[in-house]
């Protein structure tokens, strides 16, 4: 996690902008231009997404340390969408941004290895190593247990990548499974949290945080604080700020005494800022940047300085 923490410190901003591009968020002038070239096709939609993202990345790169493309928004447009995802990752990384691929992947060992190669690593093509999506981190669903997480770890170490394991998610029904008490009277989310500490043991970086992070939602501030206290080496990705109702006070418990330990995500509140504020569609990226600055300032004011 050192690279992410360094980027947060350099920009004095512990937030990540989510790139979840629904067509409805994309200004008409961008969609029109894409359809003029490719028609109202999957390719046209993917071209609009990429153009929208590039404008956002140009405006956001000086402000945020990281972006989080949610793979589903790209996958819905087939291979054309996946090509837009790949180009988005490259464009963001060229601008020095840390890219968290939100794939929420998981499967049994060998299949998980293939996901890891695709999204974080390289794949061998008859003796030649090639990289596909090459994100800096990946969100991972832990439901299959260690078999679904362990295959990622050597690759993360080799290529300096990280993972964020779903621990206590931000959605309303997250408690159905995650809050369940197990035989030892601990919740499932606390148990998965401890597994994150175990999985990350050998990989602690300069700041004491391991390559195995956790996802914990802004919509459950008490659990965020409980997890922060219980998991001193686990860095948190905290979604649920903004559109899902989380605010600066809610995310504050995710941080440690140095103001480190968490990065807060917002997607819709940044992507749709131009629509919410009634800005001209040409200024969509400017509106997104203004919302990112507002979010940063609100969180920094609440949490204090970043060491
Ligand atoms: O892993 C995630 O990023 C995630 C976990 C979670 O518990 N809740 C959650 O909302 N997310 C993702 O975070 C983003 C939240 O988007 P907004 O609600 O628009 O800010 C979406 O990409 C979600 O898929």
pLDDT in tens, 118-137: 999 999 999 999 999 999 99
Average pLDDT over residues 34-62: 98
H/E stretch holding 37 reads helix 28-38
**Residue nearest atom 12 in ligand 1 by C-alpha distance:** 239
Tell me the pLDDT band of 304, cut-offs 50, 70 and 90. Answer: confident
pLDDT tens for residues 260-283?
999 999 999 999 999 999 999 999
Ligand 1 atom closest to the Cα of residue 271 is 19
**Closest residue (by CA) to atom 13 of ligand 1?**
239
CA 159 – ligand 1 centroid, Å: 25
Rounded to the nearest whole angstrom, what is the distance from the C-alpha of residue 239 to the centroid of ligand 1? 5
- State the closest ligand 1 atom to the C-alpha of 20, by its place in the atom list counted from 1: 22
Asked whether the beta carbons of 134 and 101 are under 8 A apart, the reply is no
Tokens of 81: 């969408």
Q: Which residues line ligand 1 (CB under 6 A)?
A: 18, 20, 70, 102, 104, 139, 169-171, 215, 217, 239-240, 242-244, 265-268
Q: What distance in Å separates the CA atoms of residue 285 and residue 53, rounded to the nearest whole number?
A: 9
Mutate to test the pocket of ligand 1, among 189, 193, 265 (most ligand atoms within 8 A of CB): 265
**215 Cα: distance to centroid of ligand 1 (angstroms):** 9
Q: What is the pLDDT of residue 307?
A: 64
38 CA distance to ligand 1 middle (Å)? 31
Atom index in ligand 1 nearest the CA of residue 243 equals: 18
Measured between alpha carbons, how far is 37 from 19 in angstroms, rounded to an integer? 23
CB 237 within 8 A of CB 243: no
Q: Is the pLDDT of residue 306 over 70?
A: no
What is the second-level CATH architecture of the domain 2-303? Alpha-Beta Barrel (3.20)
User: Taking each helix axis from N to C terminus, what angle separates 42-60 and 284-303, rounded to the nearest 10 degrees?
Assistant: 50
Q: Which positions are catalytic?
A: 104
Ligand 1 geometric centre to CA of 124 (Å): 32
- Indicate whether 222 pLDDT > 70: yes
Name which of 296, 253, 304, 251 is nearest 14 in CA terms: 296
Assess whether pLDDT exceeds 90 at residue 109. yes
Measured in Å, residue 148 CA sits from the centre of ligand 1 at: 21
Q: Is the pLDDT of residue 305 over 80?
A: no
- In 3-state terms, what secondary structure has residue 45? helix
ipTM here: 0.99
Rounded CA separation 202/211 (Å): 9
Give the alpha-carbon dihedral of 300, 65, 20, 132, to 10 degrees: -160
151 has pLDDT over 70: yes
Ligand 1 pocket test, pick from 219, 239, 245 with the greatest ligand atom count within 8 Å of Cβ, gives 239
pLDDT over 90 percentage in the chain: 98
* Cα–Cα distance, 199 to 222 (Å, whole number): 24
- Using CA positions, which residue lies closest to atom 7 of ligand 1? 169
Q: What is the residue with the minimal CA distance to atom 4 of ligand 1?
A: 239
Cβ contacts of 282 within 8 Å, gap of 6 or more? 27, 29
List strand residue ranges (DSSP E) for the chain, in order: 15-19, 66-69, 98-105, 122-125, 128-131, 137-140, 162-168, 212-216, 236-238, 262-266
- Please report the DSSP string for 255-285 in residue order: S-TTS-SEEEEESHHHHTHHHHTT--GGGHH
The token pair at 30 is 């961008």
Closest residue CA from atom 16 of ligand 1: 267
Alpha carbon dihedral 24, 68, 232, 8, in 10-degree steps, equals -110
Are 299 and 63 contacting, i.e. CB atoms less than 8 angstroms apart?
A: no
Residue from 17, 170, 264 to probe ligand 1 pocket by mutation (most atoms less than 8 Å from CB): 170
Which position has the token pair 């941080």? 255
Q: How many residues does the chain have?
A: 307
Query: What is the predicted pLDDT for the residue at 123?
Result: 93
**CA–CA gap between residue 266 and residue 263 (Å, rounded):** 10
């Amino acid at each position: 996690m050192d690279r992410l923490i360094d980027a947060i410190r350099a920009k004095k901003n512990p937030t990540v902008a989510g790139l979840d591009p629904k067509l409805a968020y994309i200004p008409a002038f961008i969609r029109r231009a894409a359809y003029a070239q490719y028609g109202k096709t999957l390719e046209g939609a993917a071209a609009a997404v990429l153009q929208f993202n590039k404008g956002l990345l140009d405006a956001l790169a000086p402000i945020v340390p990281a972006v989080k493309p949610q793979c589903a928004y790209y996958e819905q447009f087939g291979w054309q969408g996946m090509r837009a995802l790949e180009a988005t990752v490259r464009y963001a990384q060229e601008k020095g941004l840390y890219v968290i691929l939100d794939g929420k992947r998981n499967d049994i060992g060998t299949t998980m290895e293939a996901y890891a190669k695709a999204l974080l690593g390289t794949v061998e093509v008859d003796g030649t190593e090639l990289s596909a999506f090459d994100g800096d981190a990946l969100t991972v669903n832990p439901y299959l247990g260690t078999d679904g997480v362990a295959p990622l770890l050597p690759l993360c170490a080799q290529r300096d990548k990280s993972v964020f394991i779903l621990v206590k998610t931000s959605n309303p029904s997250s408690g159905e499974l995650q809050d369940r008490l197990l035989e030892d009277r601990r919740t499932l989310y606390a148990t998965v949290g401890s597994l994150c500490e175990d999985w990350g043991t050998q990989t602690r970086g300069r700041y004491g945080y391991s390559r195995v992070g956790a996802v914990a939602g802004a919509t459950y501030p008490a659990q965020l604080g409980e997890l922060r206290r219980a998991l001193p080496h686990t860095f948190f990705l905290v979604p649920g700020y903004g559109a899902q109702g989380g605010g600066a006070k809610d995310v504050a418990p995710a941080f440690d005494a140095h103001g480190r330990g968490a990065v807060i995500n917002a997607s819709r509140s940044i992507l749709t800022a131009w629509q919410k504020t009634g800005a001209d569609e040409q200024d969509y990226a400017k509106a997104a940047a203004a919302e990112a600055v507002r979010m940063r300032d609100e969180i920094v004011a609440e949490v204090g300085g970043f060491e």
